[in-house]
């Protein structure tokens, strides 16, 4: 028995499926409300998921570029890049009349919508599709919901993680077989409505921009019982190196992402979420490292590395496996001969 090509479906291609997709990835200065896009890439796909063309641009964020060690884009590189209003029309041409597809689409869409609103332009997007949600609908046997795991499942080789163009390429190549699997199985696509912002006002400089309290004043949040981390603690986080499964991570202060969601993401990636800081803590995540909290004071006393939330969430995308862990096998790229 021969294996069916992913173009072959058990039934005719569903007429209710969209006729075109725009697979998008953006790199940003961070995750908060007033953070900016520093690069963007779009792969346009037809109704069957075949690539029509692709596009990439740098964007001058008019501010500090944020976690350079993640996306590699320094102030010097971005200085001569176009401002978002200068690329908005070209981006619109690639998004118009298509479903926006992204990995964690809520984030990419929110960053794009805010940039359009700042430029006093309405983003031409009506629907979005998150490939994490689609993977769940398809019940793919993934170890986690990172892009690298989705790519490995479909034999897609990533060449430069956190480069918008390569991330968009990887996602486009993984989306096509996902789309065909959904068609074969009669699976509905998890489409969500996009409501563009029509106006924008910058936040005040103080209090700290973009961060919402993870717990309200005068309220109590019970701690949740989490399963023990299955990986040994590999030690402290080292700058410009990836996080590694088993690291003990503590959080302090307000976060832009809901605290419980942030902790869940850390646990899913294989990290140990600690409720306090000790000599064994691998790193402390806080948006206010100068705050006189017990955790920040202990971290400084112990020499524990401290990271801002935006840098931490970027690092969460590619957590290195624990020593001795087996990675999913990736298919080597085809020979050019």
Q: Same domain, yes or no, for 185 and 41?
A: yes
Strand-pair partners of 293 = none
- SS3 label, residue 2: coil
Cβ–Cβ under 8 Å, residues 95 and 123 = yes
Q: Same domain, yes or no, for 178 and 289?
A: no
- Tokens of residue 311, six digits: 């840098």
Q: Same domain, yes or no, for 46 and 176?
A: yes
How far is 311 from 69, CA to CA, in rounded Å? 9
- pLDDT tens for 81-98 read 999 999 999 999 999 999
Q: With respect to residue 333, please indicate whether it lies within any of the assigned structural domains.
A: no
Average per-residue pLDDT for the chain? 83
193, 210, 234 - which closes a domain: 193
Q: How many CA atoms lie within 13 A of 30 on its CB side?
A: 20
Q: How far is CA 235 from CA 27, 243, 271, 307, in A?
A: 29, 10, 12, 15
Q: Same domain, yes or no, for 177 and 305?
A: no
Which residues, 6+ apart, have CB-to-CB distance to 58 below 8 Å?
Answer: 38, 39, 73, 77, 78, 81, 82
Q: Same domain, yes or no, for 178 and 259?
A: no
Q: Same domain, yes or no, for 165 and 278?
A: no
How far is 249 from 229, CA to CA, in rounded Å? 12
Residue 300 is classified by DSSP as H
pLDDT band at 70 (very low <50, low <70, confident <90, very high): confident
Q: Same domain, yes or no, for 89 and 160?
A: yes
Taking the CA atoms of residue 308, residue 309, residue 315 and residue 316 in that order, the dihedral angle to the nearest 10 degrees is: 150
Q: C-alpha angle 242/285/69, rounded to 5°?
A: 40
Which of 290 and 257 is assigned the larger pLDDT?
290
Mean pLDDT of 28-39: 86
Q: With respect to residue 88, please indicate whether it lies within any of the assigned structural domains.
A: yes
- pLDDT tens for 257-279 read 667 778 888 888 889 999 899 99
CATH (domain of 259)? 3.40.50.10190
pLDDT at 227 over 80: no
- Tokens of residue 27, six digits: 């790199």
Q: Which domain holds residue 281?
A: 248-316
The winner for highest mean pLDDT among 44-53, 215-224, 328-337 is: 44-53
- pLDDT tens for 296-307 read 999 999 999 999
Residue 12 is classified by DSSP as P
Q: How many CA atoms lie within 13 A of 233 on its CB side?
A: 15
Q: How far is CA 76 from CA 70, 73, 239, 337, in A?
A: 16, 8, 21, 38
Q: Same domain, yes or no, for 180 and 278?
A: no
CATH (domain of 89)? 3.30.420.10
How far is 8 from 129, CA to CA, in rounded Å? 23
Q: With respect to residue 6, please indicate whether it lies within any of the assigned structural domains.
A: no
How far is 10 from 17, CA to CA, in rounded Å? 16
Q: Same domain, yes or no, for 189 and 53?
A: yes
- SS3 label, residue 162: coil
CA 20 to chain centre: 23
How far is 309 from 252, CA to CA, in rounded Å? 10
- Tokens of residue 306, six digits: 């401290």
Whether this model's pTM surpasses 0.95: no
Q: What is the CA radius of gyration of the chain?
A: 21
234: left (phi over 0), alpha (psi -120 to 50) or beta: alpha
Q: With respect to residue 211, please indicate whether it lies within any of the assigned structural domains.
A: no
Cβ–Cβ under 8 Å, residues 80 and 99 = no
CA 58 to chain centre: 18
The structural domain count of the chain equals 2
Angle between helices 84-95 and 105-118 (to 10 degrees): 130
Q: With respect to residue 123, please indicate whether it lies within any of the assigned structural domains.
A: yes
pLDDT band at 218 (very low <50, low <70, confident <90, very high): very low
């Amino acid at each position: 028995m021969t294996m069916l090509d992913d173009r072959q479906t058990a039934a005719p291609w569903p007429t209710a499926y969209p006729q075109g997709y725009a697979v998008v990835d953006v790199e940003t200065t961070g995750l908060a409300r007033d953070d900016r896009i520093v690069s963007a890439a779009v792969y346009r796909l037809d109704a069957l998921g075949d690539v029509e063309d692709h596009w990439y641009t740098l964007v001058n964020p008019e501010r500090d570029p944020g976690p350079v060690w993640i996306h590699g884009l320094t102030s010097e590189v971005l200085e001569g890049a176009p401002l978002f209003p200068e690329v908005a029309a070209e981006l619109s041409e690639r998004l118009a009349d298509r479903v926006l597809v992204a990995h964690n689409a809520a984030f990419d869409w929110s960053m794009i919508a805010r940039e359009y609103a700042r430029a006093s332009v309405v983003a031409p997007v009506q629907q979005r599709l998150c490939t994490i949600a689609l993977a769940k609908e398809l019940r793919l046997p993934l170890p986690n919901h990172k892009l690298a795991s989705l790519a490995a499942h479909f034999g897609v080789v990533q060449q430069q993680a956190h480069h918008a163009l390569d991330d968009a390429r990887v996602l486009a190549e993984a989306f096509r077989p996902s789309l065909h699997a959904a068609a074969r199985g009669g699976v509905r696509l998890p489409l969500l409505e996009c409501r563009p912002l029509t106006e924008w006002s910058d936040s005040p400089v103080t209090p700290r921009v973009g961060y919402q309290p993870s717990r309200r004043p005068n309220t109590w949040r019970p701690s949740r019982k989490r399963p023990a981390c299955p990986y040994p603690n590999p030690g402290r986080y080292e700058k410009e190196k990836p996080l590694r499964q088993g690291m003990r991570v503590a959080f302090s202060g307000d976060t832009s992402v809901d605290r419980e969601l942030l902790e869940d993401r850390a646990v899913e990636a294989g990290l140990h979420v600690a409720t306090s800081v000790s000599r064994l803590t691998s790193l402390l995540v806080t948006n206010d490292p100068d705050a006189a909290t017990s955790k920040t004071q202990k971290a400084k006393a112990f020499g524990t590395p401290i990271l801002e939330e935006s840098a931490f969430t970027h690092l969460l995308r590619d957590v290195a496996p624990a020593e001795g862990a087996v990675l999913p096998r990736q298919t080597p790229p085809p020979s050019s001969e």
